[in-house]
Amino acid sequence: MTLRQPSVGIIGAGMSGLCQAIMLRAAGITDVTIYEKSHEVGGTWRDNTYPGLACDVPSRFYQYTFATNPDWTKLFSPGAEILDYFSRATDRYGLRDLIRFGVEIVDASFGASRWRLTTGARETASHDFLISAAGVLREPRMPDIEGLADFDGQAMHSARWDHCVDVTGKRVAVIGTGSTGVQLVCGLADSVSRLELYQRSAQWVLPLPNPGYRSWTASLHRRFPALDMMAYRGFHRGFEFFARALVEPGWRRTALAAACRANLRTVRDPELRRSLTPDYQPMCRRLVISPGFYRAMQRPNVHLVDTGIDHVTPRGIITADGTLHEVDVIVLATGFDAHAFMRPMAVAGPDGRTVDQLWADGPHAHLGVGLPGFPNFFMLMGPHSPVGNYSLTAIAEAQAGHILRWIQRWREREFDTVAPTRQATDEFNAGMRAAMPGTVWATGCTSWYLGADGTPELWPWTPNAYLRRLAQDPSPRDYELCTELEGTRAP
């Protein structure tokens, strides 16, 4: 039997989109186009370049298993090194010819068994399959602070760092205390004259060390490539321990919580320690990894401001108690819209129903990759993916492999279109909601994990369970497999 050759469109040239393209090409699928609105690959690692940026997953676990890197310089690599890794993978696998840089897809609709795409320049294209790899932390969340536009100094979001602004010797305000805010404090404390961290709520911090690899390590890994996979599997097992603490009550959760509380006790000033103490359980929010945050917060030029911001004036920030904090630079470490997914791109199925309509009550999907009523459409890092303190490269590989297997079945003419059924999607989501109360995310805190109804929107079991689920042959009753001529479910 002659295999069909599909045309595949991928939205985004970040970590997951590149992974999918590499796997498609390795399987002999050559008609692949990646649409990237920016002018370089790398996604979040391209967009985020702020001082102190590093990955909070070990380098040897935050990489593709098919493209391991012997040259990592630190246990947790800086952002520039990770961007370089994805850039070199792009060149190594010859992907640049597949990428349309500077092209944003604004509309996608399905009809006549194909996806029709429209770009911001009103150009069109069509594909048999459409895969959204737009990413999770992509759309910066801008705070609604009165007067921010009137500030006479420099104001910027952490994901849009302006390298023309020299912060050396300046008075800098960092608004936000998530992972980005913590990394910024550590990255700026040595060079600015005064740093104020504006805290709405405190975070738990796990102080994992970040040693550098010795120069001989890279040579050893190049000579014995099996060491790369040994390290990958070792970190995988370690993170399974961590993941079980997140989803199961027990001694693992207790031990990690104790480590966070012990780290907090390194803050000598009792008043500062009280202000930095969260009012929720450790790990309820995404755990911040930093060996130096509390040390930086105790420097004489670093100050915590836990009084709310009232407004901004040309001279600085006015807090709710009426105090004027004169600053030269304001950095907004206020995070991202983690529920945007492929939006603002408009996506419509064959009946005209849009993703926005499907998600009127919040984003949901089947296995994090498929949407009912949207045939031949898949997502990487879609709703409910295990994105909490885990290697997203591992999740991306599993999802990309799952999607590839569906496309391979299309090549073998088993069906013309595939989409999960509404019943299967509803059952999948109901099962997750039923399991959520046992997770640490449901113990009572606000976070970007929560949906509109206050329920965490994460996979409530271990990442290994998710990887196994994606590797299984899907149940036929969970999908609508249709042939173009008959318009019926394929046998």
Contact 459, 384 (CB under 8 A): yes
Q: Does an H or E element contain 267, and which?
A: none
Digitized pLDDT (tens) for each residue of the chain, 491 residues in all: 789 999 999 999 999 999 999 999 999 999 999 999 999 999 999 999 999 999 999 999 999 999 999 999 999 999 999 999 999 999 999 999 999 999 999 999 999 899 999 999 999 999 999 999 998 777 888 999 999 999 999 999 999 999 999 999 999 999 999 999 999 999 999 999 999 999 999 999 999 999 999 989 999 999 999 999 999 999 999 998 889 999 999 999 999 999 999 999 999 999 999 999 999 999 999 899 999 999 999 999 999 999 999 999 999 999 999 999 999 999 999 988 777 788 889 999 999 999 999 998 888 999 999 999 999 999 999 999 987 778 999 999 999 999 999 999 999 999 999 999 999 999 999 999 999 999 999 998 888 788 777 888 889 999 999 999 999 988 889 999 998 754 444 43
Say how far apart CA 436 and CA 453 lie, in whole Å.
13
Say how far apart CA 488 and CA 491 lie, in whole Å.
9
For the chain, helix (H) and strand (E) counts, in that order, are 13, 21
Contact 5, 411 (CB under 8 A): yes
DSSP letter assigned to residue 28: T
Contact 384, 365 (CB under 8 A): yes
Q: Report the pLDDT value the prediction gives residue 480, as an integer from 0 to 100.
A: 95
Treating both helix axes as pointing N-terminal to C-terminal, what angle do 226-247 and 215-223 enclose, rounded to 10 degrees?
A: 110
Question: Encoding tokens for residue 308?
Answer: 């709310």
CATH 3.50.50.60 spans which residues of the chain? 8-139+337-482, 148-332
Q: Are strands 99-101 and 105-111 parallel, antiparallel or unpaired?
A: unpaired
- The domain 8-139+337-482 is classified under which CATH number: 3.50.50.60, 3.40.50.740, 2.40.40.20, 2.60.40.420? 3.50.50.60
Q: Report the pLDDT value the prediction gives residue 336, as an integer from 0 to 100.
A: 84
Q: Which amino acid, 440?
A: V
Say how far apart CA 148 and CA 158 lie, in whole Å.
15
Q: Are strands 377-379 and 129-132 parallel, antiparallel or unpaired?
A: parallel
Q: Report the pLDDT value the prediction gives residue 409, as an integer from 0 to 100.
A: 96
CB contact set of 106 (below 8 Å; sequence gap of 6+): 118, 119, 120, 344, 345, 346
Query: How many other C-beta atoms are found inside a 10 Å radius of the C-beta of residue 359?
Result: 17
Q: Report the pLDDT value the prediction gives residue 455, as an integer from 0 to 100.
A: 82
Query: How many other C-beta atoms are found inside a 10 Å radius of the C-beta of residue 39?
Result: 9
Q: Report the pLDDT value the prediction gives residue 389, as an integer from 0 to 100.
A: 78
Q: Report the pLDDT value the prediction gives residue 22, as an integer from 0 to 100.
A: 98
Specify the pTM: 0.94
Domain spanning 148-332: CATH superfamily: FAD/NAD(P)-binding domain (3.50.50.60)
Query: How many other C-beta atoms are found inside a 10 Å radius of the C-beta of residue 139?
Result: 18
